[in-house]
Amino acid sequence: MNPVAPVRSVLGTAARVYAGQAAHAASVPAFMTVAIVTDSCHYLPAQLVASNSIHQVSLYVHDGDRTLAELRMDDYDAYYERLRDLAKLPTTSQPSIGDFLDVYEPLLAEGQEIVSIHLAGGMSGTVRSAEQAREQLGGRAEQVHVVDSLSACGGEGLVVLAACAAARAGRTGAEVARHTRLARSELKMWFALDTLEYLRRGGRIAGAQAWLGAALRIKPILTVESEITPVEKVRTSGRAFERMVDLLRTLAAEGRDAWMVQHIQAPDQAHELARRGTELLGREPLVISEIGPVIGTHVGPGLLGAGGLPSGLLDG
């Protein structure tokens, strides 16, 4: 079984239409020759996951003596409240090879090709686990196409939705994989953090290493280009918010009009960013959703993210 992530989220009007179209297309067997598999770090709403027949493999959170599959974690408020007070952060890990094979095998048995799209390889071993699972399939390996999204969260989610559109259009696995990589090349996604403290404590600071020390009080704006990459730094939450609005203005100017907003424990700011972005782009975000514990453990509460790609890529 593929548990559906219980993400608290809001679907925009365009996404509700898109979900309905996807559900209708998914009911036509001829369009389902390619199955889309991803991991739990896209944080798309359950409705979009279900309507697009997206198959999921969960990453894990290791909290004390407990190992929790992210797809089964449903109380984000409690998790993040506890995270603020922990002296030692939980750790996270990728799915096992066996986890992937449990999803791949039934799909292959049904005669489907698979396009498996995952969290950036520079951030996680997830995509490598998928590749190792593929290698164990012997002669069937050529039916599985593994794609590194080179992104995370909403960026990964938008790339997955582009893959779903190509699959619904009846493309082959190789063609869906190419379309997925094209979508990734057109993606722009940014995240404003409340603090660098969680990245520092989790050892995931990567390219933002130079901003440590006295700079922990800054409000960094980051992107993901295989790994977490710094864009710029500002001094206050208000300036960070306005800079995110400026970046949405860039999306509008460049025609990246299929867009979304994500947050961690910042719903009011997320909805205000969505309102400002709707004025700029002339359409609502596809999704407003909260990022879950696997990524949230490393970036902490207060994150605000947004980004997009051209809507034509979601037409297949």
Q: Residues 229, 115: one domain?
A: no
211 or 253, greater pLDDT: 253
pLDDT at position 17 is: 47
Domain that holds residue 139: 9-60+93-185
Half-sphere exposure of residue 235: CA atoms within 13 angstroms, side-chain side: 1
pLDDT at position 219 is: 87
pLDDT at position 15 is: 52
pLDDT at position 299 is: 93
Q: Residues 161, 200: one domain?
A: no
In a domain, 84, yes or no: no
In a domain, 75, yes or no: no
Q: Residues 205, 286: one domain?
A: yes
What's this model's pTM, rounded to 2 decimal places?
0.90
Q: How confident is the model at residue 200 (pLDDT cuts 50, 70, 90)?
A: confident
Q: Evaluate whether 180 touches 237 at the Cβ level (below 8 Å).
A: no
Average pLDDT, the chain: 89
Q: Residues 225, 293: one domain?
A: yes
- Tell which of 160, 185, 210 closes a domain: 185
Closest-CA residue to 46 (of 294, 311, 292, 316): 292
Q: What is the pLDDT of residues 118-161, one digit of tens each?
A: 999 999 999 999 999 999 999 999 999 999 999 999 999 999 99
- Tell which of 185, 220, 252 closes a domain: 185
- Tell which of 137, 160, 185 closes a domain: 185
Q: What is the CATH number of the domain that holds 107?
A: 3.40.50.10170
In a domain, 243, yes or no: yes
